[in-house]
């Protein structure tokens, strides 16, 4: 077993340059799914935690990380899948939330609702402002959208649907 | 390997349920629901992939999630029968998803504390996903149950048809009792009351009647399945078996 050390900045920068293929304004580091980048001898090891169990982007992300690190001079690369701690949208930084909004996707509001009642029979009181006009007169259309991580909302003021990166 | 047998049960439940949901892709009653069913399917197949991969690893004979999914015979599948029943109409699919997702949420919430750390991690992730499945299907139970005369009738008929398949979710055997004692698995029988209470609460709001528990179908955990599983597997496995080793 070779001792592991924190990876050099150029390797971290390479990983920071990898964008989420589905949401190309966020890097994999902004998303919080990269848990560690370290060097074990000649190998750069990256710990990645999945966003959703079935997210098809995860494999693309692993390939993109490997390519980026090789381009930055890594001799060999290993991408590990780790399950602890479990990913939450709470890890998305303020700055990244702002970029999401500018891109047209409403960022997650508040914190992940893991401790709420399993099935609230009263409709949720969650307010999700429209990322385009800022209106708070919006309504949930479906908790499931174009990707696993997004819900479909509707802005009454714009009379248009928008996407919401749902808290999880 | 007792642990891999247990993981097959968890993985197969999600694989078969997920496959049934995927059959709706392009056939949903409205576009949003088509997308939702496909997304729930994707979550479940993703969870199955993680669990079957772990099953193969624990078994130690070099089988991967893909070999387990595509190259086992029907009698080797360990899913509960409720997962394999044909998708039926939208009321049937919704009712099954509701009954299964409520169970799943209760089960996974506890499985997060498993002493098997990879399993605990997979469960913690899956739990968050399944909460959305439970809420989504509960929303539809309210709309369908308390909707038109036809939607109510179709939903109640689905409840009555599915009820005798719900008992198997709570079944324990020597294998799982042993794993519960080791702190790896969760006692299914202990979830019955909480499940019934949650289902009853939603059914009351949806003007649906909770059936009495009568005869319960079983057999999936031992590989005794309905005829429907064979048809499902034929479709799910055909490409992998026709072109072994193919990549795309």
Residues B65-107: tens digit of each pLDDT: 999 999 999 999 999 999 999 999 999 999 999 999 999 999 9
Contact flag A148-B35 (C-beta cutoff 8 Å): no
Please report the sign of the dihedral spanned by the C-alpha atoms of residue A95, residue A96, residue A98, residue A99.
positive
pLDDT tens-digit readout, B163-201: 999 999 999 999 999 999 999 999 999 999 999 999 999
CATH class, domain A4-81, is: alpha beta
Q: Closest Cα of chain B to A53: distance in Å? A: 5
* 3-class DSSP assignment, residue B112: coil
The chain-wide mean pLDDT, for chain B, equals 96
Domains belonging to chain B, first-starting first, are 2-209+218-242 (1.20.1260.10)
Q: What number of other Cβ atoms are within 10 A of residue B198's Cβ?
A: 21
A86 → closest Cβ in B40, B124, B132: B124
Flag whether residue A59 sits within 8 Å of chain B, measured between CB atoms. no
Note the pLDDT of residue A3: 80
Range in A5-14, A156-165, B36-45, B216-225 the model is least confident about? A5-14
Contact flag A118-B198 (C-beta cutoff 8 Å): yes
Q: Which of residues 42-81 of B touch A (CB under 8 A)?
A: 42-47, 49-50
Q: At B193, list the tokens.
A: 């009351």
Cα–Cα distance measured from residue A114 to residue B203, given in angstroms and rounded to the nearest whole number? 23
Q: Which of residues 37-56 of A touch B (CB under 8 A)?
A: 50, 52-56
Chain A residues inside the 8 Å CB shell of B142: 121
Q: Any idea of the CA torsion for A136, A138, A140, A146, to the nearest 10 degrees?
A: -100
Contact flag B32-A152 (C-beta cutoff 8 Å): yes
Q: Which residue in A49, A50, A29, A35 sits closest to A148, CA to CA?
A: A50
A114 → closest Cβ in B42, B50, B128: B128
pLDDT tens-digit readout, A110-146: 666 544 678 877 766 678 999 999 999 999 998 899 8
Helices (H), B2-148: 2-22, 31-59, 65-70, 81-84, 90-111, 117-145
- pLDDT of A13 over the 80 cut: yes
A148 → closest Cβ in B43, B134, B201: B43
Q: What number of other Cβ atoms are within 10 A of residue A26's Cβ?
A: 22
Nearest-by-CA chain A residue for B198: A119
| Kind of pairing between the strands at A160-165 and A105-106 | parallel
Q: Which of residues 61-120 of A touch B (CB under 8 A)?
A: 82-84, 86-88, 112, 114, 118-120
Q: At A145, list the tokens.
A: 């959208």
* 3-class DSSP assignment, residue A19: strand
Write the burial class of residue B39 (CB in 10 Å: 0-12 exposed, 13-18 middle, 19+ buried): buried
Note the pLDDT of residue B248: 72
Note the pLDDT of residue A114: 47
pLDDT band at B37 (very low <50, low <70, confident <90, very high): very high
Task: Write down the domain spans for chain A.
Answer: 4-81, 104-165
In this prediction, residues B223-248 reach a mean pLDDT of 94
Cα–Cα distance measured from residue B51 to residue B8, given in angstroms and rounded to the nearest whole number? 7
Flag whether residue B118 sits within 8 Å of chain A, measured between CB atoms. yes
């Amino acid at each position: 077993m070779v001792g592991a050390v924190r990876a050099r900045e150029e390797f971290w920068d390479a990983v920071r340059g990898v964008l989420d293929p589905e949401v190309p304004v966020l890097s994999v580091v902004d998303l919080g799914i990269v848990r560690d980048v370290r060097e074990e001898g000649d190998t750069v090891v990256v710990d990645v935690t999945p966003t959703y169990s079935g997210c098809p982007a995860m494999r693309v992300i692993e390939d993109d990380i490997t390519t980026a690190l090789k381009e930055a001079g890594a001799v060999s690369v290993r991408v590990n899948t780790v399950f602890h701690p479990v990913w939450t949208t709470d890890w998305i930084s303020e700055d990244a939330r702002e970029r999401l909004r500018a891109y047209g996707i409403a960022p997650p509001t508040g914190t992940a609702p893991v401790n709420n009642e399993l099935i609230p029979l009263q409709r949720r009181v969650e307010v999700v402002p429209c990322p385009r006009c800022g209106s708070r007169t919006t309504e949930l259309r479906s908790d499931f959208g174009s990707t696993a991580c997004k819900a479909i909302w509707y802005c009454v003021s714009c009379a248009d649907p928008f996407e919401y990166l749902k808290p999880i | 390997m007792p642990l891999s047998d247990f993981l097959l049960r968890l993985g197969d439940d999600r694989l078969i349920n997920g496959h049934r949901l995927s059959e709706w892709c392009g056939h949903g009653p409205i576009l949003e629901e088509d997308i939702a069913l496909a997304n729930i399917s994707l979550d479940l197949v993703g969870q199955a992939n993680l669990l079957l991969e772990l099953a193969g690893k624990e078994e130690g004979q070099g089988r991967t999630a893909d070999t387990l999914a595509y190259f086992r015979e029907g009698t080797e599948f360990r899913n509960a029968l409720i997962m394999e029943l044909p998708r039926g109409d939208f009321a049937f699919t919704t009712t099954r998803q509701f009954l299964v997702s409520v169970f799943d949420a209760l089960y996974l919430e506890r499985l997060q504390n498993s002493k098997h750390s990879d399993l605990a991690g997979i469960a913690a992730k899956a739990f968050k996903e399944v909460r959305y499945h439970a809420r989504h299907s509960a929303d539809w139970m309210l709309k369908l149950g308390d909707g038109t005369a036809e939607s109510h009738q179709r939903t109640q008929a689905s409840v009555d048809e599915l009820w005798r398949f719900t008992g198997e979710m709570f079944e324990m055997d020597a294998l799982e009792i042993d794993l519960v004692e080791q702190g790896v698995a969760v006692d299914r029988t202990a979830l019955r009351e909480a499940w019934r209470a949650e289902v009853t609460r939603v059914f009351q709001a949806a003007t649906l009647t909770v059936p009495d528990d009568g005869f319960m179908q079983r057999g999936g955990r031992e590989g005794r399945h309905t005829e429907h599983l064979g048809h499902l597997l034929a479709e799910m496995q055909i490409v992998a078996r026709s072109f072994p080793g193919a990549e795309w």
